[in-house]
Amino acid sequence: MPLLDVRDLTVEFPTRRGLLRALDRVSFGIDAGEVLGVVGESGAGKSLTGAAIVGLLERPGRIAGGEIRLEGQRIDNLAPEPLRRIRGRRIGMIFQDPLTTLNPLYTIGRQLVETMQTHARLTDAEARRMAIGWLDRVGIPAAAQRIDAYPHEFSGGQRQRVVIALALCAEPALVIADEPTTALDVSIQAQIITLLKGLTRDHGTAVMLITHDMGVIAETADRVAVMYAGRVAEIGPVAAVIRHPAHPYTDGLMASIPSLEHRVNRLRQIDGAMPRLDAFPAGCRFHPRCPRVFGRCTEDPPELIPAGPTQAACWLHADG
């Protein structure tokens, strides 16, 4: 059984104009030590999936169906207090903007010490020593001196390093990283990805890496889930999904990314845009934009179907 097991996760938002189903039967698993990339365009439901797992759905959103299990234990139906204990101790979180995670009024040392002491019995001296160790591990130079600095005294890249230390210092089993490098410059982004990858591998941490950047996924993830309009369109080993995409959406997405290796005259484009939450079409949600659409697609929403090394929610693969 995978460390994180998400099955048929459905999230709904009741509105005056009716029920909006933002996530529709999303299923995937992540093993210990594995990095699952979750990729998709804005509004596809990637961040919502992460928020649902850690119980941080914004009202009036709610989990309307499905199960989330962490190390075999159901966590989708917990009361706020036990859930809070799991979050932070067994699930660490890294967000795009480090300034929203760090408290500007506390030194980073105090925030690290507090986090570790909340989740383990440690004396102040022990916790401080470990905090310096973590800052050192995430590559903050002169950690012993910098531990008493405030978040604003660090650069953007260093702040994200502190956030990573904060997410990992309670040694969680699962880390959910939501666009961890999107706000950073490319040369800094490379440093952060290498760091995250190395630390989670050393500790056997499962990682759910949410990003819109397929390049980051290619380098970092073991498997990838491609989301479209609140559903998983395709999931499989990262090399297979990138080189031999089975879903027409994944195929179009890969072809629309300009390459560094060679220049083409025209990029392949997917015409149109992803439908809004309140206007999902019947059947496969991609069918109005799909170049290979046929009769069944317009009526019948496809489930994930094995398609070679990956699984794709596409009727093209229905016969094997």
Partner 1 sequence: MPMAEVKTLEAVAVSHFFDVSRPFLQRVFTREPRRSLRAVDDVSFEIAPGTTFALVGESGCGKSTIARLAVGLYEPSAGDIMFENQALSSARAQPAMRRRMNMIFQDPYASLNPRWRVSDIVSEPIRAFRLARGSREVQGRVGSLLAQVGLTVRDGDKYPHEFSGGQRQRISIARALASEPDFLVCDEPTSALDVSVQAQILNLMRDLQQRLGLTYLFISHNLAVVRHMSDRLGVMYLGRIVEQGPAEAIFRRPLHPYTRLLLDAIPDLEQVGRARTPVGGELPSPIAPPPGCAFHPRCRLANERCRVEKPVHVWAGDVQVACHAVEEGRDG
Judged by beta carbon, residue 70 or residue 224, the one nearer partner 1 is 224
258 touches partner 1 (CB under 8 A)? yes
- The nearest distance, CB 75 to partner 1, in angstroms, is 30
- Restricted to residues 33-62, the positions that interact with partner 1 (CB under 8 A) are 41-42
Judged by beta carbon, residue 2 or residue 237, the one nearer partner 1 is 237
157 touches partner 1 (CB under 8 A)? yes
Decide: helix, strand or coil at residue 49.
helix
Contact with partner 1 (CB under 8 A) among 252, 302, 312, 313: 252
- Choose among 189, 179, 225, 160: nearest CA to 47: 179
- The nearest distance, CB 288 to partner 1, in angstroms, is 14
Tell me the CB-side half-sphere exposure of residue 320, using CA atoms within 13 A.
0
DSSP 276: P
Contact with partner 1 (CB under 8 A) among 1, 79, 142, 273: 273
Helix (H) or strand (E) run with residue 266 in it: none
142 touches partner 1 (CB under 8 A)? no
* One-letter identity of residue 124: D
Rg (CA), the chain: 21
Contact with partner 1 (CB under 8 A) among 190, 277, 298, 303: 190
CA 182 to centroid of chain Cα atoms? 13
Pairing of strands 35-39, 223-228: parallel
Judged by beta carbon, residue 34 or residue 76, the one nearer partner 1 is 34
Between CA 314 and CA 182 the distance in angstroms is 30
188 touches partner 1 (CB under 8 A)? yes
123 touches partner 1 (CB under 8 A)? no
260 touches partner 1 (CB under 8 A)? yes
Between CA 280 and CA 288 the distance in angstroms is 10
Sheet strand arrangement including 4-15? 18-30, 4-15, 62-70, 73-74
Residues 6+ apart with CB under 8 A from 129: none
Binding mask 207-236 for partner 1 (x = CB under 8 A): -----xxxxx-xxx----------------
Between CA 194 and CA 184 the distance in angstroms is 14
- The nearest distance, CB 192 to partner 1, in angstroms, is 9
194 touches partner 1 (CB under 8 A)? yes
Binding site for partner 1 (CB under 8 A): 41-42, 139, 155, 157-158, 185-191, 193-194, 212-216, 218-220, 238-239, 242-243, 252-254, 256-261, 263-271, 273-274
